[in-house]
Chains A and B, each alone.
Chain A
Amino acid sequence: MAQGWLQLVAFVAILIAMARPLGAYMAHVFRNERVFLTPIVGPVERLTYRILQVNPSDQQNWKVYARNLIAFSLFSWLALYLILRTQGIQPFNPAGFHSGPWDLSFNTASSFVTNTNWQYYGGETTLSYFAQMAGLTVQNFVTPAVGICAFLALTRGVISRSGEGLGNFWQDLVRSLYYVLLPLSIVVALILVSQGVLQTLGGAVTATTLEGANQTLALGPVASQIAIKQLGTNGGGFFNVNSSMPFENPTALSNFVEVLSIILIPAALAYTYGRMVGRTRQGWAIFATMLVVWVALVATIYPAEQHGTPAEHKAGSPTIALADSTGGNMEGKEQRNGITNSALWASTTTVTSNGSVNAAMESLTGLGGAVPMSGLGMSEVIFGGVGTGMYTMLLFVIIAVFIGGLMVGRTPEYLGKKIQAREIKLASLGALYTPLAVLVTSAAAIGTKYGSPSLFVRSGPQGFSETLYAYLSQANNNGSAFAGYTGFVQPDAPGNAHSYGITFADVIGGLTMITARFIPILFVLAIAGSLATKKVAPAGPGTMRTDNPTFVILLIGVIILVGALTFFPALLLGPIVQSLTTRLF
């Protein structure tokens, strides 16, 4: 195991080293300053504003900012839904796939417009290259940019000195896309192709194997989509088995780049925040909070997976490490990823809102499965989604400042802004909507007969975990899954004739994703508007510091407390039962 721990320590060290330069670069970009890409991107950027007919220097208040954000997302949803529903008549469809049914398309459109990338469909058996590129890849780019926009608006509300605006939505969107997401995607995509990730418009190829059987190799424009899928905390795979598919993630190098891409931008944004508020220690305090919880989760799941499962042990395998074999729970894991990198990925993809996987989540050990569910239960604030992680974390910061203020009997203030009843109400509602949505939807799916057609395992803690995970993942806009749970029935027929969606799962899931994305965003923007109008009070001896270890511990406590109070009873029924017993069900 020593080699595995060394890998994990090295990975964390590399992440910390990379977060700072990227974070500093993004701070320049989002303060609309000149960066090294400006000579190339600048003219395109200005042309874009002309096409959009916007003046990027127009400052927007929170209502205008929110209106633009919602309108853009709404039309994005419509475009994607239409693409999915008219797939049959589109180009780049060598396999001749039919258009999706309405309920599945509703779920998928809602999923990709909310940065969730929950997938009831199987990519290579359902979607044309056109739908993957012009539908899904586009949303993979714009949804993290929208997340960054909301984060920037909140940040500007925090630093505003005299009630100025929150910035310009279109400028923030375009700059996030052109200066951050697109350049990084191009680099990552090229690295991935060099490793063997597909990038072609050619149709599937049938090989005659050595044993004389036919094996059809599904191909497609994969690398371009996978790069942004990882970087934008999207997570929706080109293939059904996501990044465990060798064509999506073929080597140790590709795996390293992909898992680093999951967490790089969210980690760097914490530093960006520190730079933008003019106090890097504030950014580091948030970064430290995220780091501590993430490292604790990684350190839990890795030994759990190395231990193996009761089912494997009862089958007669001790799952111990041998010379040249990792041992451990290798069911649903790839040899090149092994235990270490599967565990690292599973925890990283769920504390961030990425949701891509390189191993089967449903085959994790009991305790191993509790780790991703805990990451989801903490509302994706531990690094979290691109932009979303930071703005949701700032909601928890506001709540922590309030609780800390109550404990020491001081007026709560954050970076010189008084936190008053209005902010606390908005922050609480924003932080509580998602957990509430999880509990209500999973209760509806478990408590009524409508949830059962989606189940793979129809009884016992595994079936419960499947359901709980499905709604935890969708409400938190994550997208990873205990993949036995389904909302789509796909008969083995040419071009997917006769396939149909499971309406209940598709609709309730879609509505959960949409509301849990945009309701918190609206609360965040409202807080931004409210903070922007407040005067800055100079820090005095009575000010509680928000950049020291004490505050980090307080913040961790608040996050865990909210998550644990909400989900502990539910987790008991699923993964915790499974980790405490060696009984088989």
Chain B
Amino acid sequence: MSQFLSTKAGQIHGGSGTICCSWPSPIGVSGVHMWYWQVATPPWVLREIEITEEIPPIELAPDEMGAYVLLRWHGRPLETLWLAKTQYGGFIPAANLRRMIEQATDWRVAVLAVEAELLGERPPAPLPSLTVAVCTRNHPEMLQRCLAALVAMRDAATRQGRAGDESQAVDLLVVDNAPEDDRTKAVVESFPGVRYALEPVPGLDMGRNRALAETDREWLGFVDDDAVVDRFWLDALAEGMRESPSAAAFTGPILPLMLETESQLRFEIAGGFGKGFHWRRFGPERWGDPVHPANAADIGTGACMVLSTKVLRELGGFDEALDTGPPLPGGGDCDMFYRIIRSGRRIVYLPGFFVRHEHRRDLRGLARQYYSWGQSIMVLADKNYRADPATRNRHRLMTAWWVSAMARRILRSLSGRDFRYPGTVWAELRGVAAGRFGEYRRSQRRMALRKEAHLR
């Protein structure tokens, strides 16, 4: 969300070397930027290549306009490649592809190899005591897909004998938020061992708090219903938890599930949810980051996060005035990250702990998404400007920075040098304005009324 902020992770490559880094992700490899409109022509196919095995050539069907390739090294994500048909043609031989992969991933592989060498052989990490909650509302088809992946993940862990007995397996919970019918319930019942909870008051954070009330596990994970977990999701999380026992939360990257429409493609090329594949650790302060933690959107995204139940209860759960659906559709995740950081705890961003997310299919939905981003970051500033006077400077700086970045972005977009249409940038700016000027208090009043209505 805030890729324009200079952060430590963008510049960690040591010594005097400066290299192309995937974050913020330009299109192409080795710093070759492409700003051709053809690139943003859907559909693109998604591929995955394990670079320690034989690398297959890439062949595109006549109607496929490019390949988005995720590169892995022993299962760990390294980098993504954007191979546009307009740049590379419809067939990339294996030898050429291997050279491109070497150029793009060489030093990233070195990082992982040196780390593996320093740590030596380690047994697989024990599974955490975890509940994964999916908060959903009227999306039974998406929920079906999401649950299928989660159940497969849980059953694989149980089969490998890592979960001990049945009661220690990953607990799956679906929170049905103010459903209009019982289709969601039917989907949940079709999966064995998935619990169902009902939250009558509409609002994502109401659902999240319901999940918190329903769990007795040490950790509470959230996966959006429009996302699908990666097959190494649980392993990466367990590994990360063993590495950082003091962390209160874990977040991870969000990759595209499909790039079928122009909206999805433009969103992902313009940065998407991408925060790169660098391991990062967020504490109360960050070296060289004058706005941390006011830019909490940089820490992670609610579509893929795991939080400590104890910490969540201590902090009083999610803020129910956020994530209420229109007119304030976002912000609950950022707010929670912000409060965790401000309470002196740590959050770790794990590169291997990622989900694939179905981005908005139409440009109108995309504009809504950007609107909600702009709004949520400003609502966070607005709320904490009052509630947390110690960080006022940071919020002020953050606001100025955000607005100026948006202004630059809209100029770039108007001159056709950005993958985002001016309309979506404008939507984000409108969100900024709405969020900055009192939306939070209006939302608080609305939520109070809404809850009252449900009590009656």
* A and B part of one assembly: no
Contact residues of A with B, CB < 8 Å? Answer: none
Contact residues of B with A, CB < 8 Å? Answer: none
